[in-house]
Amino acid sequence: MLVQTDNQSVVPKPNNSFESSPVPNYANIPEAGNLYGNKDRSAAAISLQPKATPQGFPNIDNHHFSFNDIKRITNDFRNCIGIGGFGNVYIGLLENGFQVAVKIRSHLSSQGVKEFLAEAKNLTRVHHKNLVTLMGYCIDGNCMALVYEYMQEANLQHKLKGDFHFEYDVRFLTWEQRLRIAYQSALGLEYLHNACNPPLIHRDVKTSNILLSANLEAKIADFGLSRPFESDESSHISTRIVGTPGYVDPEYYSSNQLSAKSDVYSFGIVLLEIITGQLPIVEGRSDLTQWVRQNLSGGYIERIVDPKIQNKYDINSVWKVTNVACRCTEQSSSRRPSMSAVVSELKESLDLEMSIEKMHNESSMDNLVTDISQDIAFELKENEGHSHMSVPGPSVR
């Protein structure tokens, strides 16, 4: 089913505050490119100098870039590292050596000016280690761009699928790494639901919107569809249906009534992806939630676990997380847990996995020490025997 119902985007005409600025031509901005771009990641340096904030636009710590700044930051749009619904994403470099990702709004994008403004405004007021950081923005004539911190390990979807940047990088995520990513992502969503004022519903939670740093720290991105809501968990707001097929809350889809539990449902699908390595929608297979429940009803937990984990997991930990995912994806929102409850259960699962891993490592070390001790004892005994035999007896005269 096609759920995304955003209006066709229209390239905005410059308002009075931009009439004096040169209007860049979209022909200067590539509309498509190599997914990973140039491997050298080179880019011209640019100073992060404050500029005047356009009229009617939020002040993002005065970090307003011009179109020429964006060209220099991205080395003239040479290094495309991703293509999304908003447009191309380019890697860039600031004067201080800080790498950034620059998301350029394409005039062909289904996400319009409204989503661009929403994302910028939302990111000015959310500050959490598990939410991507906005460095600045550009709204210069027809060019609209957002500048983020650069996340070296791309997104969770690529990691689960095995779409690696370089041929020699074939490291798949372990179960413990997946659990940690799930826990950190849940912390980010819990912050949006409970600590923001007013709270935010993300509305597009999916594995491709969970970005990973060099050390695999997870951060939630893409806030263009986010909406504020009342802090009361029972509150609902009426809104047009947006989101990504396979992740959209069926209750929200049927009623147009959005709540924080809609994010919980989407996160439950993310958990199932983390466990199974499967996409939410696969041709020739039943819905992912149904497929998982069918296997669980027969007790076949091993059938749903991603084979790339290579059986290196604790079965109790997997059962616990799968149970959480199934409760998150209940058809009725009233039967789903809150994000706070999800965070708590994922923390328990992560602690369980880490303790078992620690016990395994200690046991392996103990066995290694025992084996080494036995080998040393055997060698000493052998040497003692040889030494005894080599000592000459009394001379016979």
Torsions phi, psi of 88, nearest 5? -75, 150
Looking at 6, 40, 169, 204, which residue is catalytic? 204
Quickly tell me which residue has 């009426």 as its tokens.
238
Task: Confirm if 141 and 11 have CB atoms less than 8 A apart.
Answer: no
Helix axes 260-276, 315-328, angle to 10 degrees: 150
Q: How many CA atoms lie within 13 A of 60 on its CB side?
A: 27
CA 101 to CA 81: how far, in whole Å?
9
Distance CA 124, CA 59 (A): 8
Is 351 designated active site? no
Q: What is the 3-state secondary structure (H, E, C) of 261-273?
A: HHHHHHHHHHHHH
Residues that are catalytic: 204
